[in-house]
Amino acid sequence: IAEDGYRLWLRYNTIDNATLLQQYRLQITSINCAADNDILKAAQQELQTGLSGLLGREIPAQKAVTNGTILMGLPTHLPFIHQLVDDTALARLGEEGFIIRTIRHEGKNVTLITGNKEAGILYGAFHFLRLLQTQQPITSLNISSAPKIHLRLLNHWDNLNRTVERGYAGCSIWDWQRLPGYIDQRYLDYARANASIGINGTVLTNVNANAMILTAPWLQKVAALARVFRPYNIKVYLTARFSAPVEIGKLKTADPLNDQVQKWWKDKADEIYRLIPDFGGFLVKANSEGQPGPQSYQRTHADGANMLADAVAPHGGIVMWRAFVYSSESPEDRFKQAYNEFKPLDGQFRKNVLIQVKNGPIDFQPREPFHPLFGAMPQTPLMMEYQLTQEYTGFATHLVYLGPLFKEILNADTHAKSNNSSVAQIVEGTADNHTLSGMAGVSNIGSDINWTGHPFGQANWYTLGRLAWDNTLTAQQIANEWIRQTFSNKQAFVDTVQKLMLASREIMVNYMTPLGLHHIMGYGHHYGPAPWYNKAPRADWNPVYFHKADSIGIGFNRTATGSNALAQYQPAVQQQFEHMATCPEQFLLWFHHVPWNYKLQSGKTLWETLCIKYYSGVDSVRWMQRSWNGLQRFIDEERFKQVQQLLAIQEQEAVWWRNACVLYFQTFSNKPVPAGYEQPD
Ligand code: GCW
């Protein structure tokens, strides 16, 4: 039974709509693929597996072209493509895009899947399968698709001892101890799943890095994984511990301007590329939360990033340098620190460096405004970092679909330019003409049978890939196709689950951190409410630092009369947030210390509204439970029950959040809960 969760969205059960199955069977009879390289072999294999399952009969690979052949190949294999598709249309596909077209070829009706490069055909094959999995018509296809973002990556926070930082789905899937000799089937299925959604790179190791991964025996293990991933167009990347030259290189310093240090990294890069010729490059967390970095030697982040960039540049590698930095010594609002640190460095980074920025200025909260660095560094490609693992959004216990969160950020207008400067356009690189672009998701994958612990965690992984490919897809479209592939195409099921998924993020915000509250969860583990906590070793880890509740009101004043973090945004963005009266309620306490009696646009006071939000969060979880309970007949018992039990815990914990927060904040507001709501005890 356990298979149901393991198979993710690659289920390929025979299509349960008889009429449609009949049509598909006429339209698809065989595969013809010039499988003369590993990627094309993988594409052919995937198509064969998928189609044979979906159509409930063997779909053979053959040399002939007959009615119903799926014809796959590059223009070099199939020169007629040059007559069919003009050169500019082909060029627009880049290295990874694809075309799928229904055509007449040699007098036969065939479906052509092509691209400039093998990878495009692989992605085209998966796209074709998705059309069938979601039961779309395939009679007259004319699809052309290319990824909007080049680096579409997972970031694993996986340690070498197989623990996973902020991982809630078991151990790391990398079985380092038995690598490189033992290749777990999971690695292959991981590659297949990622390729199916366009993910083309994976950072194997935690940003809180261990230098050991860069030693020869460990690199052999990394090379073995790279071999599994290569036919699926997935590159491996590693995190580079900045002090590695000292820790494993026996040097006295890791100063990026020191010749020996530079040479050490160049030699290390050469060694890696000898083993892994298509190695992607490094991801670095430096001078943040105790990690070493260039500032330990009075050098800048640019000095550090450029040194590593120079080491990998001859091999075509890149460096992703994280902007998640804030200092325990600085009295400055934590919100402002990354911007203060990085904005002045714009223009100083090498061409093969990207700065990787978390979606918001604090830390993957249920809701954050977009990070003020987006739009503020036009000369530098900025990569998006999202968190799939639900560190602050209920671990692998709460059902929270993050699509709406991701889209809210991408759609935000930075106003850095008069037009074309949404966060999406900054990240794509179109706003400032960057050729390098990237989007990463901190992985929620572990050794649990169903990969992500919560069956719905899979949707967040899926969404990262689909959005990195095409950020114009809506959260609804992505949820819809994920549900159909993962569970069922039955309309009543799809409609109900889609509603539940789309509402789930706002529901979580309501029972955890409504109205712009943030960072009020349990200290250290980050689970459950602890708004009262004030004992952390540094002020900016304490919930009280963030909510600032007192007898007057609650919230963090980040306007000009407060920390003035707002000044980091463009004037048009500042205007949206700077006045209490007009600031959207969902961001209110991010930017204002609001009196308890303050009347919001609804006419209700802040205190009343806060309570109502918490109560409605709980009620909505109960609505989710009722919706789910009506779906038993549509799906396997195992996943039905898992979700049912998890929702029951989510309900209890929503009550926990509500009661804890209402009771605690009430000690400041000194007011009863609004009429009609039951006072918690
Ligand atoms: O969110 C915080 C987490 C840390 C994490 C850090 C980061 C990898 O609590 O566990 O460390 O962010 O993103 O670097």
Tell me the two tokens of residue 125.
């094959």
Alpha carbon 130 to its chain centroid, in Å, reads: 20
| Nearest in space to 348 (alpha carbons), one of 412, 256, 267 | 256
Distant-in-sequence, close-in-space partners of 351: CB < 8 Å, separation ≥ 6:
309, 436
Ligand 1 atom closest to Cα of 206? Answer: 8
- For the chain (length 681 residues), average pLDDT per consecutive 10? 86 96 98 96 98 98 97 97 95 98 97 98 98 97 98 98 98 98 98 99 98 98 99 98 98 98 98 98 97 97 98 98 90 96 98 98 98 98 98 98 99 96 98 98 98 98 98 98 98 98 99 98 97 94 96 98 98 98 98 98 97 98 98 97 98 98 98 97 89
- In this structure, which residue's CA is closest to atom 3 in ligand 1? 166
Question: Taking the CA atoms of the chain, what radius of gyration do you get in angstroms?
Answer: 26
Closest Cα to atom 13 of ligand 1: 324
CA distance 55 to 423: 41
- Taking the CA of residue 322 as reference, the ligand 1 atom at the shortest distance is 14
157 Cβ below 6 A of ligand 1: yes
Show Cβ contacts of residue 518 under 8 Å, excluding neighbours closer than 6 positions. Answer: 362, 365, 366, 367, 368, 546, 547, 589, 590
Binding site membership of 326 for ligand 1 (Cβ less than 6 Å): no
- The atom of ligand 1 lying closest to the CA of 208 is 8
Give the separation between CA 264 and CA 259, rounded to whole angstroms.
Answer: 9
How far apart, in whole angstroms, are the C-alpha atoms of residue 410 and residue 437?
Answer: 14
Ligand 1 atom at shortest distance from the alpha carbon of 363: 1
The per-residue DSSP string of 429-476 comes to TTTTT-S--EEEEE----SSTTSSSSTTHHHHHHHHHHHHH-TTS-HH
368 carries an active-site annotation: no
Give the number of other Cβ atoms within 10 Å of residue 76's Cβ.
9
Give the distance (Å) from ligand 1 centre to CA of residue 165: 8
Give DSSP secondary structure letters for 368-416.
-PPPTTTTT-TTS-EEEEEE-S-TTTTTTTS----HHHHHHHHH-B--S
Helix (H) or strand (E) holding 23: helix 18-27
Which of 3.40.190.10, 3.40.50.300, 3.90.1330.10, 3.40.50.720 is the CATH number of 510-669?
3.90.1330.10
Compute the distance from residue 98 Cα to the ligand 1 centre, in Å. Answer: 37
| Ligand 1 probe mutation, 363, 386, 519, most atoms within 8 A of CB | 363
Selecting among 38, 363, 585, 636, the annotated active-site residue is: 363
Task: Kindly list the distances between the CA atom of residue 265 and the CA atoms of 244, 275, 277, 355, in Å, as whole numbers in the listed order.
Answer: 9, 15, 16, 20
Say yes or no: CB of residue 536 within 6 Å of ligand 1.
no
DSSP string, 87-126: HHHHHHTTTT-EEEEEEEETTEEEEEEE-SSHHHHHHHHH
Nearest CA to ligand 1 atom 2: 363
Closest CA to 436 of 237, 149, 154: 149
Residue 168's CB is within 10 A of a number of other CB atoms, namely 20
C-alpha closest to that of 382 among 294, 313, 322: 322
User: 15 C-alpha vs ligand 1 centroid, how far in Å?
Assistant: 43
Between CA 150 and CA 437 the distance in angstroms is: 5
List the beta strands (DSSP E) in 82-216: 98-105, 108-114, 142-145, 151-155, 201-203
| Cα-to-centroid distance, 392 and ligand 1 (Å) | 11
Residue to mutate, 165, 242, 337, ligand 1, most ligand atoms under 8 Å from C-beta: 165
Asked if 310 is an active-site residue, the reply is no
Side chain identity at 388, as an amino acid letter?
Answer: L
Provide CB contacts within 8 A for 539, sequence distance 6+: 545
Examine the residue annotation and report whether 637 is marked as an active-site residue of this protein.
no
Answer yes or no: are the C-beta atoms of 542 and 535 closer than 8 Å.
Answer: yes
Please tell me the distance between residue 378's alpha carbon and the centre of ligand 1 in angstroms: 26
CATH 3.20.20.80 fits 151-475, yes or no: yes
Taking the CA of residue 385 as reference, the ligand 1 atom at the shortest distance is: 13
Q: Is the CB of 324 under 6 A from ligand 1?
A: yes
Q: pLDDT at position 329, please?
A: 80
Of 172, 203, 208, best ligand 1 pocket probe by most atoms within 8 Å of the beta carbon: 208
Closest residue by Cα to residue 509 from 428, 429, 409, 398? 398
Q: Give the mutation target among 289, 391, 540 for probing the ligand 1 site: most ligand atoms within 8 A of CB.
A: 289
| Closest atom of ligand 1 relative to the 364 alpha carbon | 1
What number does the ligand 1 atom closest to the CA of 166 have?
10
Residue type, 238: L
Report the DSSP pairing between strands 98-105 and 108-114: antiparallel
CATH superfamily of 3-145: Chitobiase/beta-hexosaminidase domain 2-like (3.30.379.10)
Name the strands in the sheet holding 108-114, side by side, starting at the edge strand that comes first in the sequence. Answer: 30-33, 69-72, 108-114, 98-105, 142-145
Confidence at residue 2, expressed as pLDDT on a 0 to 100 scale: 57
What is the reported pTM?
A: 0.98
Instruction: In whole angstroms, give the CA distance from residue 553 to residue 375.
Output: 33
Q: Where are the domains of the chain?
A: 3-145, 151-475, 510-669
Ligand 1 neighbourhood includes 376 CB (under 6 angstroms): no
Distance separating alpha carbons of residues 73 and 327, to the nearest angstrom: 53
Question: Using alpha carbons only, what angle is made at residue 622 by residues 676 and 529, rounded to the nearest 5 degrees?
Answer: 80
Catalytic residue, from 46, 118, 391, 608: name it: 391
Write the residue with the smallest CA distance to atom 11 of ligand 1: 208
Tell whether ligand 1 has an atom less than 6 A from the beta carbon of residue 165.
Answer: yes
Closest Cα to atom 12, ligand 1: which residue? 363
3-state SS, residue 366: coil
DSSP for residue 288: S
Domains 3-145 and 151-475 share a fold: no
Ligand 1 pocket residue status of 268, Cβ below 6 Å = no
Pairing of strands 438-442, 353-358: unpaired
Ligand 1 atom at shortest distance from the alpha carbon of 392: 1
Q: Please state, as a whole number, how many other Cβ atoms lie within 10 Å of the Cβ of residue 140.
A: 8
The interface pTM score, or ipTM, of the predicted complex is: 0.99
- Rounded to whole angstroms, how far apart are CA atoms 599 and 602? 8
Distance of CA 548 to the CA centre of its chain: 31
Q: Chain centroid to CA 267: how far?
A: 32
Active-site option among 95, 247, 271, 289: 289
How many angstroms separate the alpha carbon of residue 5 from the centre of ligand 1?
Answer: 28
CA of 625 to the centre of ligand 1 (A): 32
d(CA 667, CA 663): 7
Ligand 1 centroid distance, CA of 338 (Å): 14
Atom of ligand 1 nearest to the CA of 358: 13
**Residue 365: in which H helix or E strand, if any?**
none
Would you put residue 599 in left (φ > 0), alpha (ψ -120 to 50) or beta? Answer: beta
- 166 in ligand 1 pocket by Cβ < 6 Å? yes
Asked if 390 contacts 444 with a C-beta cutoff of 8 angstroms, the reply is yes
C-alpha 442 to ligand 1 mean position (Å) = 10
Give the pLDDT confidence score for residue 330 in this predicted structure: 85
How far is the C-alpha of 102 from the C-alpha of 596, rounded, in Å?
A: 63
State how far the Cα of 333 lies from the Cα of 331, in Å rounded to an integer.
Answer: 7
363 within ligand 1 shell (Cβ under 6 A):
yes
Angle at the Cα of 193 (from 188 to 198), degrees rounded to 5?
120
Say how far apart CA 562 and CA 336 lie, in whole Å: 12
